[in-house]
Amino acid sequence: MVLVNVRVRGIAATAITKILLDKGYRIVQASNIIRERFGLEQDTSPAEVTVKDADVDELLVIGFHGPAKKVIRDLVDMLKYVFTWISPIGLHSIHAGIVREKKTDTCIVEIGNGFKGILRDCNFEVGKRIVVSVVKAPIKPGEPLVLSRSIRVVGKYIALIHGSRKISLSEHIRDQSKRDYLLAIAASKLIGSGLGIHFRSSSAHASKEDIEDEIEELREKLVEIIEKTKNIDEAPIQVYEGEYIALLGLTSKAKEILDEYRAQVTPTIRCHHSYKSFGDTLSELVDFSEKLVSEGINEKIVSNVLKKHILDKYKSYPRIRIIHKKPDGTTLLLTPGTLYKLWIKDNKYHILVKRVFRTNGVYDGLNLEKKPGDIDYMLVVENEWFISHNYYRGEEWLGSYININTPPEILPNTIKYHDLAADIVVKNDYTVEVIDKEELEKYYQRRIITTHLYIETLNQINKIKENLNKYIIDKPEKLEQNN
């Protein structure tokens, strides 16, 4: 079996490394701490795939198509509760396209399979056949596809560029002597060629011969691609696939799985990846807590104490942020609120957040006017797949909106969750309606929402409908109850 070389970086590096090693991947260019934790020998081989943080809640997977697709499949299979966004077009893919529209100096270019991209600084007329490459791939729904007239081919150590003479180096190559060494190779091999070059991070570990051989290999490939585009009668068409690129949205449940894998390697408290993603002082508290666990203190006790510490702080926060992450990749910051009540029931923390609206609008699903001064009593329950919005005007209950989402991450002055599209609306005459189920189906069919998330969403809808009274606050006196 041919091993796939993967480089792993970021908050989840230990857990992801464990998953990939168990799956038979070869981890290359590992950090010192990863080598120490797994007993790995130093391996500076070039990576075929890189897995790293895109932001605190997303992993970026990028690399050569076959290996990167396999990595994505295995990560989705193991993490189960992720949002998956895969670009249908390769980054740096090359196309013989046709200009379809033009506005001032911006063209819309058709590149095949129904895809159109934006080409700026365009001086071509509509109908013109041109060669373009993808410099920004549309990973999430609605993202623009951005094109360039410069084309590049990507190797293990370098990318060679036609249409630009720029020489650049990966930001991860920090040693100045190594940078000077690579720049000297570029000067000797490319002077007068009219080509540009980008040195990938793996080039820092490559020999002069390896880099020079790859420069020649990619130069030949560029010539072949350019000649191919000259002889193509049909357009639009792709002539080079570029790099595979995808994102994984890490929900709270996916982070729990990451916690489990990390715990197999090193002392890990519950919610490690959620807390680490918040950063700041909380990240330091996690490090301290895990040192306590490593010294023999019971992990469950340490985790519970830290969770209690976070929730006790809620009483002093002037505002609680609500971060709502959608399957289309967008993030909404809802109207913030203040803590109204905090209690424990069935061994779960219940948080009631009071949100006061300042502007006019309409309540989704209820088709009622929203007025300044209206209140949303937002019920959040630890480890539950919903958030219940209960709308009041004075003491009059207007109705409730039950959002189906992954169990919320309860962080300092922040509640964060991934929305699962479908919701339940309860009107003030107790009419119940499931809304936006077609959105759930759409994201499931597009494989953005996994089968595990899809099935759980349907299960939660049925569970909530069967016992609505547990999920809504339809009477003012309920606001004062603690159980």
Q: How far apart are CA 63 and CA 68, in angstroms?
A: 5
**Helix 13-22 / helix 65-79 crossing angle, nearest 10 deg:** 100
Average confidence score pLDDT of the chain: 95
**Residue 482: per-residue pLDDT:** 59
Lowest mean per-residue pLDDT among 144-148, 312-316, 375-379, 425-429: 312-316
Q: Which residues of 101-136 are buried (b: 16+ CB within 10 A; e: fewer)?
A: ebeeeebbbbbbeebbbebeebeeeeeebbbbbbbb
- Residue 425 pLDDT > 90: yes
Band (1; pLDDT cuts 50, 70, 90): low
- Domain spans in the chain, listed from the N-terminal domain onward: 5-86+246-263, 94-242, 317-480
Name residue 126's amino acid. V
Write out pLDDT tens, residues 444-461. Answer: 999 999 999 999 999 999
- Report percent pLDDT > 70 for the chain: 99
Matching residue, tokens 């990619």: 218
Of the candidates 7, 138, 14, 140, the one whose C-alpha atom is nearest the C-alpha of residue 61 is 7
Rounded to whole angstroms, how far apart are CA atoms 371 and 134? Answer: 47
Tracing tokens 């293990």 back to the chain, one arrives at 156
Q: Is residue 346 classed as helix, strand or coil in its secondary structure?
A: coil
pLDDT in tens, 303-315: 999 999 999 999 8
Beta strand spans in 326-384 (E): 331-345, 348-356, 361-363, 368-370, 375-381
Only one residue has tokens 């990560």, namely 75
- Within 8 A by CB and 6+ apart from 258, the residues are 12, 15, 16, 79, 250, 272, 273
State residue 17's pLDDT score.
98
For the domain spanning 94-242, the CATH number is 3.30.230.10
> Does the pLDDT of residue 483 top 70, yes or no?
no
Q: How far is CA 335 from the centre of its chain?
A: 23
Beta-carbon contacts of residue 387 (< 8 Å; ≥ 6 apart): 378, 379, 380, 402, 403, 405, 408, 415, 417
Asked if residue 233 has pLDDT above 90, the reply is: no
Q: Do 424 and 461 meet the contact criterion of CB atoms below 8 Å apart?
A: yes
Q: Band of the pLDDT at 166, cuts 50, 70, 90?
A: very high
Does 230 have pLDDT greater than 90? Answer: no
What pLDDT was estimated at residue 481?
A: 75
Q: Given this model, what pLDDT does residue 191 score?
A: 86
Q: Identify whether 327 is preceded by a cis peptide bond (ω within 30 of 0).
A: no
Burial 165-176 (b: 16+ CB within 10 A, else e): eebebeeebeee
Q: For domain 317-480, give the CATH superfamily.
A: FomD-like (2.40.380.10)
Stretch 10-34: mean pLDDT: 97
